[in-house]
Copies of this chain bind each other. A is one copy, B any other.
Amino acid sequence: MVNEIRKDYLLERYSIIATNRLKRPKDFRPVKTKEKKIKCPFCPGNEDMTPPTIFKINGKRGWDIRVIENKFPALSKKANYKKKLDGFTNCFTGVGHHEVVVESPSHSKRLDQFSVKKIKQIIDVYQQRFVVLSKDKNVRFVAIFRNHGKAAGNSLSHPHSQIIATPFVPELIAREMNASSKYRRRNRKCIFCDIVKKERKSKRFVYENKSFLAMCPFASIVPYETWIITKRHVKNIAGLKEQEKTDLADALRAVLVKMNKQITNIPYNYYIHQAPLDSKNNYHMHLEILPVLTVWAGFEKCTGAYINPVSPEIAAKELRSA
């Protein structure tokens, strides 16, 4: 069978769906977790090992969720914004915010093992921090993301997410915004509404509830890539209502449970794609989960195109039935 090359809904990004290398969940090695026994800075009682608490939700063991500044922040809230733009070596000061959301006092629970109520609480904190950080005049975009497993770049296994607020609109986000504007001008429709409408009925459907659809995108760049997308226009996480946050938690939990049934302790990155703060465009904020089962190597780095050995139709079918 000949492979297919697919274009992303929005970007001029190509993915080679290499089904001639067809892999099934069992072909991916089980993920061993061998953790060094260190004193965990995120465990209750060790709060003095981290920067001070910025925000917390109180709980039985002192706190249920705790937000701190990253010990080595990529961007700093104390810096003064300066730029040097000579058209060749353009640079500016690394102002912004870099926070860690310690999601639970429990050291070794996985996110998919939390209740919907607990995951909703984490989403509440994402939303609250987003609202606070978006008031900083230097901030143009807020990246909310989570790394699970060593292969996904996670160095501390205690459940946590990160938030980086940047003084620039990142390239990928800018390109998505441009492409969605272009689609709207051409088709007089919102591309994200089309994605929801069309993919709900496609072979790439995974799960849905009242507010969110979970599906494997047409030009998935990695095996089992799954998006959880708002059904109505919602620019960013601040726009989610109470019930919608519960629905996002429900869909996120459902998908992660399904993924873990396929591959135990599957490593992944997830992140929220949302509009830049100053954007006037329509957007449907969505959470993208990228399992880390393959390695991006010379071809991907050379071209910005991808080789994915599992088609999204097969991935979705397996996730639906898991």
Residues in chain A within 8 A of chain B (CB atoms): 2-7, 9, 11-14, 16-18, 20-21, 72-76, 78-79, 87-95, 141, 143, 145-147, 151-154, 162, 164, 166-168, 170-175, 186-187, 194, 198, 218-219, 269-273, 288, 290, 294-299, 301-305, 307
Q: How far is the CA of A165 from the CA of B298 in the complex (A)?
A: 13
Cβ of A198: which chain B residues have Cβ within 8 Å of it? Answer: 88-89
- Out of B78, B79, B146, B299, name the residue touching A298 (CB < 8 Å): B146
Q: How far is the CA of A271 from the CA of B320 in the complex (A)?
A: 38
Smallest Cβ distance from A237 to chain B, in angstroms? Answer: 13
- Out of B3, B91, B146, name the residue touching A76 (CB < 8 Å): B3
Q: What are 16 residue pairs bridging A and B, where the CB atoms are less than 8 Å apart in the complex?
A: A3-B76, A4-B92, A4-B93, A6-B89, A16-B94, A20-B72, A87-B187, A89-B218, A91-B218, A141-B303, A143-B299, A145-B299, A152-B298, A172-B303, A172-B305, A288-B302
- Pair A297/B171 contact, Cβ less than 8 Å: no
* 5 nearest A-B residue pairs (beta carbon): A145-B298, A153-B297, A3-B94, A172-B304, A170-B303
Of A5, A87, A162, A298, most buried by chain B (CB within 10 Å of CB) is: A298
Knowing A171-B11, A302-B145, the reply to whether A3 touches B152 (Cβ < 8 A) is no
- Pair A90/B173 contact, Cβ less than 8 Å: no
Q: How far is the CA of A91 from the CA of B218 in the complex (A)?
A: 9
Smallest Cβ distance from A189 to chain B, in angstroms? Answer: 10
Smallest Cβ distance from A266 to chain B, in angstroms? Answer: 15
Cβ of A11: which chain B residues have Cβ within 8 Å of it? Answer: 171
Q: How far is the CA of A312 from the CA of B269 in the complex (A)?
A: 27
- Pair A12/B154 contact, Cβ less than 8 Å: no
- Pair B5/A297 contact, Cβ less than 8 Å: no
Smallest Cβ distance from A74 to chain B, in angstroms? Answer: 5
- Pair B91/A5 contact, Cβ less than 8 Å: yes
Identity of the chain B residue whose Cβ is nearest the Cβ of A16 in the assembled complex? B74
Q: How far is the CA of A269 from the CA of B305 in the complex (A)?
A: 15
Q: How far is the CA of A194 from the CA of B246 in the complex (A)?
A: 54
Cβ of A171: which chain B residues have Cβ within 8 Å of it? Answer: 11-14, 303-305
Of A17, A166, A294, A305, most buried by chain B (CB within 10 Å of CB) is: A305
Identity of the chain B residue whose Cβ is nearest the Cβ of A167 in the assembled complex? B5
